[in-house]
Structure 1
Amino acid sequence: MTLMAERPVISDTKPRSDFDELLDLLDELRVPDGYKAEIIKGSIVVSPWSKGYYTRVMKLVCNQLEQYLPEGHIIERAPHLFVFPGLERAYGPDIHAAHEQTYETNSSHLDGEGLSFVAELTSHSTRVADLTDKVDVYAKAGVAVYLVLDMQKEQAIVYGSPSPRGYEVRFTKPFGEKIDIPDPFG
Structure 2
Amino acid sequence: MTVMADRPHMLTEDFEAVARIGAREVEGLRLEFIDGVIRSKAVPDGDHGRIIVWLSRICMQHHPDLWLHAGQGVKVEQYREGRAIPDGVLAHEDAFVGQGDWVDPGPILMAVEVTSWDSDTERRDRIEKPRAYASTGIPVYLLIDRLECQVLVHSDPDGQRYETVRTVPFGKDVRLPDPVGIVLPTEPLKDWVR
Q: TM-score, normalised to structure 2's length?
A: 0.77
Equivalent residues in 2 for 1:13-92, closer than 5 Å? 18-29=11-22, 30=24, 32-69=26-63, 72-77=65-70, 79-84=71-76, 86-92=79-85
| Identity among equivalent pairs (%) | 25
Give 1:132's aligned residue. 127
Which deviates further from its counterpart, 153-162 or 97-106?
97-106
Q: Does 1:100 align with 2:109?
A: no
Deviation at 1:106, TM superposition (A): 5.2
Deviation at 1:127, TM superposition (A): 3.2
SS at match of 1:44: strand
**8 Å CA contact retained: 1:31, 1:37:** no
Deviation at 1:46, TM superposition (A): 1.8
Structure 1 stretches (4+) deviating beyond 6 angstroms? none
Deviation at 1:109, TM superposition (A): 1.7
Give 2:140's aligned residue. 145
SS at match of 2:129: helix
Deviations 1:26-47 (A, max 9, x none): 2222452233111122122222
Give 1:178's aligned residue. 173
Q: Structure 2: how far apart are the matches of 1:106 and 1:117?
A: 18
Q: Structure 2: how far apart are the matches of 1:100 and 1:64?
A: 15
Give 1:109's aligned residue. 102
**8 Å CA contact retained: 1:144, 1:160:** yes
SS at match of 2:109: strand
**8 Å CA contact retained: 1:36, 1:47:** yes
Query: Which amino acid in the other structure matches residue 96 of structure 2?
Result: Y
Unaligned 5+ runs, structure 1? 1-16
Q: Structure 1: how far apart are the matches of 2:147 and 2:81?
A: 28
Deviation at 1:178, TM superposition (A): 0.6
Unaligned 5+ runs, structure 2? 1-9, 182-194
Query: Which amino acid in the other structure matches residue 114 of structure 1?
Result: P
Q: Structure 2: how far apart are the matches of 1:169 and 1:106?
A: 31
Equivalent residues in 2 for 1:149-164, closer than 5 Å? 149-164=144-159
Q: Structure 2: how far apart are the matches of 1:31 and 1:40?
A: 22
Deviation at 1:19, TM superposition (A): 1.7
User: What's the Cα RMSD here?
Assistant: 2.1
Q: Structure 2: how far apart are the matches of 1:93 and 1:38?
A: 10
Deviation at 1:184, TM superposition (A): 0.8
**8 Å CA contact retained: 1:155, 1:173:** yes
The alpha-carbon distance between structure 1 residues 185 and 97, as it changes in their structure 2 partners (threshold 3 A), is same
